[in-house]
Structure 1
Amino acid sequence: MNEKNMPLLQEIKVNTIAAENIDIVEEWYSTWLDYKVCERGFIDQLLADSWNAPLMKNQPYLVLQPSTKEDKFIRVCKIDRVKDYKPMTSLGWNSFELIVEDVYQLYEKLKESPFKIIGPPASLGGDLDFIHAMQVEGPAKEILYLTCDKVKAPDSLLPKPKAFVGRPFIVILAANGIDEVQEFYCSKFGLKKEEDMQTKIGVIAHAQNLPEEHIYDMGFMALSKVGNFIEYDGYDKAFGERPCNEGQLPPGCSTVTFTVTSLDTLNIDFVGNTVNNDSIIYNGKRSRTAKGFTGELIELVEE
């Protein structure tokens, strides 16, 4: 693919978790996933307004990164409790996926942890039988997929983990219409249309009180840098907008930050103004936030 046909979204820079108690998230992630705090602070007004979430102003946040200090982050922002939120039953960012060295060793470790294991390690089967993954629920009701490549072929599409628990490499989006989601990301960001598939997704079926054999439509879109993907899962129309406190970020798996070459080349409706923030996430570079097809918040930062 030549440069002018490359997707405008380059890579996943940040996964943001919105939590009632950010200290518990820090404790779990540092103790069990070896993610370390690299920054603490309070959300300023300009950044909160750029998210169209004015009540995030002065809320505490922290930034975690893998033990190798890779330039990829999990940000945790404090929000008030959202009474009716249940993960994997509403639209938007459904879960975040981290690359790991050995999911079976990690499983043995996490069995002793407070993380709720909702899906034990298993092969994806078929043509993807070299990929093995497990799923856990964290303290903010965020869902993590923890995934490894058992073959580790040189030409693997999966990134090579630089730590026992490495960086985010897939973000998973729940939508009522996967064709519309694909069209949105292809038209706005130049992502390539891929063939959809139909598959069982047991952890989602369980959360939605559906039979384990329930079939979901799903698909993937690759970003321009190798080892970065958006997965989209098709939910029944009974599942709608995520419950959220007015003026705050959505709970759980809240927002995703992608890198782009330039904000000026994007033909998309933004929810707020461009900001230059000094956080380690931005390093003073311009960022701006848009809403996706399902209402998901898409933060874009220039690389």
Structure 2
Amino acid sequence: MESDALEDDEMSSLIAFHLNQSGPTEFVFRVLTTSPKIQALLFCFFLFLYILILCGNTAIIWAVYTHTSLHTPMYFFLSNLSFLEICYTTTVVPLMLSNIFGAQRPIPLAGCAAQMFLFCALGGTDCFLLAVMAYDRYVAICHPLHYTLIMTRKRCIQLVGASLGLASCLNLQLTALIFTLPFCGHRLEINHFLCDVPPVLRLACGDTRLHQAVLFVVGILVLTIPFVLISISYIFIANSILRIRSAEGRRRAFSTCSSHLSVVLLQYGCCTLVYMCPRSSEDEDRQLALIYTFVTPLLNPLIYTLRNKDVKEALKKSMTCKIACETP
């Protein structure tokens, strides 16, 4: 009897050990702070930024949709970029806000994988779409007579679809590869506010050299190659602008590119530091993630509306029409 009891205890210990070494069923995010006052301030601050992001990008989509003067390829791409920014931020912020008070609500393994895939796929689509917008500006400035023949409605839709499809395909493979790794424990704490690739890789028990290499290759395909194409486009654009004789013509040509170039530098700069420099610390990753999760989607509509005369005029007309309609 005693031997049977000992065997049962040993079996239980082996089962418990096996379960402790198997993959986790859930993750939790590390709290930003334990001070209730600071938590309340952070919640209100990030909620305010999220509302601004939603309102600003929705206003651009609405202006492009309701004004026929903006039914051009450039503004078609801009409205799609704004829609991506809304989806991109929404995959992160609601869950972040729900965890900001330190409750550490768990997210299951499948939920973490889904958030990682959506966040990376939408971010990758953003990068590809910025390259498409640079190509659009190149055709408009360097080949203005053939612009309507090249940038047809069908081709614009195909370019947006290709951007989304390529980014989704690359990041689906990356996410699937990452979540084949062994994780030790059932409840792991991520030192981040989202299931991003670098912090999840740090929690793996196995060898991650292959996964780091795949991440680097995906980073080259999503970040480096599009940025090189954007740079080449702007070299040709700058050459064409310098050939314009009138100062007003040069100013107008440059104004259509300066907004896009500002967004490119902000988006690619932050993402390159996170995904192409794996030696950065966890705190640096979180700080940079805050920039491309909140600052970039917030600045995009501001940059394009403040520096784009057509969008500003469309928004002013919409507001004036709404006020006139509401006035008895």
| Structure-2-length-normalised TM-score | 0.22
Higher strand share: 1
TM-score, normalised with respect to structure 1: 0.23
In terms of Rg, which structure is larger?
2
Considering fraction of residues, name the structure with more helix: 2
